[in-house]
Structure 1
């Protein structure tokens, strides 16, 4: 496959886009784990979620 005189630009672009997408995926995965850990800590300390209560509990 010949990409002509723009081969280096095209390959570099694909490599950079791939790197950015992989970094974003890793960032999201790490943040997800941090958020889950924070929720576990809040649950352990007795903080309850408003969405976890029923309407009867609010009154």
Structure 2
């Protein structure tokens, strides 16, 4: 790891915030994808059985 000097805390905090935001976006995308797949499956079942 490079020597960040007096800015180490700020740089590491920026990395941490970035990683948290990326993780939140990935989680949100996966959750929304699962919801849409479920809704599509339910709609297809209603169409085929109704």
TM-score tier after normalising by the smaller chain length: 0.7 to 0.9
| Higher RCO, 1 vs 2 (CA within 8 Å, ≥6 residues apart) | 2
Equivalent in the alignment of 2:28: 27
Runs of 4+ with deviation above 4 angstroms: none
Task: Name stretches of at least 5 consecutive residues in structure 1 with no aligned partner.
Answer: 48-59
SS, match of residue 47 in structure 2: coil
Kindly report the root-mean-square deviation, in angstroms, between the aligned alpha carbons of the 2 structures: 1.2
TM-score normalised to structure 2 length: 0.87
Structure holding more helix per residue: 2
Following TM superposition, by how much is the alpha carbon of 1:2 offset from its aligned partner in structure 2, in angstroms?
1.5
